[in-house]
Amino acid sequence: MFFLETKMKLLIGNKNYSTWSLRPWLVLQHFAIPFEEEILPLNGEGWKENLISKTPYGFVPVLVDGDFRISETIAIIEYIADTNPQKPIWPANTKMRALAREASALMHAGFNEIRNAAPMNLRSFHPNRIDVNKIQSDLDLIEKLWSGCLARSGGPFLFGEFCAADAMFAPLATRLKTYDLPISDVVREYIEAIYSLSAFQIWHEAAIKETAIVEMDEIDFIQGKNS
């Protein structure tokens, strides 16, 4: 008797805006792990009710593997890594793996100034819209963290080859590009490495084709709310 292996499913938000959805999606896509995606729009009539009905806690992403569901991006990525040990999702070297997890945790818990001021918007280009003085500490940390990792690894990604830590920082890279923020050449080259990644290009192309507008994630709305 033959059994068909079921694919995992990743529940995600709108590709133009959903930063946390992009991260595990990149891991699955880049490492050629079979999965299906289901977009739960973050806009439109009844979107909140739909999200609550299909997710454990009312937010995306959620990974569905048979009757098992797991939310929270880092937990999802760890589950993917544990169930696909043959894939180099984290660096093989113990110390480098620890540093990659450290960097990922810094991303998960930090960079709030730039995350609040500059929402991910892959369809748009908004130079000179962000007050750099208000996000300078985050920009300084980005420079220190990324340049240190790249100098240690030799690039083109933070730990040499693309890994989970790069997936965690991909949405932040898009913010720097969308708002044309002041960055060093080293950081700019890293951003281009993210944009040149095949998996990212697939997501990016789909995001550009989306027409839905999530008003609360648009820069005009955010700056109007904070004015």
User: Per the omega criterion (within 30 degrees of 0), is the bond before 61 cis?
Assistant: yes
52 lies in the same domain as 100: no
> Residue 136 carries which side chain, given as an amino acid letter?
Q
> Residue 59 carries which side chain, given as an amino acid letter?
F
Domain count, the chain: 2
Domain boundary among 51, 83, 115: 83
Determine, yes or no, domain membership for 203: yes
pLDDT at position 5 is: 57
pLDDT at position 227 is: 60
25 lies in the same domain as 118: no
Q: Is the pLDDT of residue 34 over 70?
A: yes
Percentages helix, strand, coil for the chain (3-state, rounded to 5) are: 55, 10, 35
Q: Is the pLDDT of residue 166 over 70?
A: yes
| Average pLDDT rounded to a whole number, residues 105-115 | 96
57 lies in the same domain as 123: no
Q: Is the pLDDT of residue 1 over 60?
A: no
pLDDT tens digits, 67-107: 999 999 999 999 999 999 999 999 999 999 999 999 999 99
pLDDT tens digits, 185-220: 999 999 999 999 999 999 999 999 999 999 999 999
Q: What is the mean pLDDT of the chain?
A: 95
Nearest CA among 105, 113, 142, 155 for reference residue 130: 113
pLDDT at position 7 is: 87
154 lies in the same domain as 181: yes
d(CA 38, CA 41): 9
159 lies in the same domain as 191: yes
52 lies in the same domain as 110: no
CATH number of domain containing 41: 3.40.30.10
CATH number of domain containing 204: 1.20.1050.10
> What does pTM read for this prediction?
0.95
**What are the tokens at 193?**
């490495």
Range of the domain at 29: 8-83
Determine, yes or no, domain membership for 222: no
75 lies in the same domain as 171: no
| Average pLDDT rounded to a whole number, residues 40-65 | 95
| Average pLDDT rounded to a whole number, residues 155-161 | 98
Burial tier of 218 (Cβ tally within 10 Å: 0-12, 13-18, 19+): middle
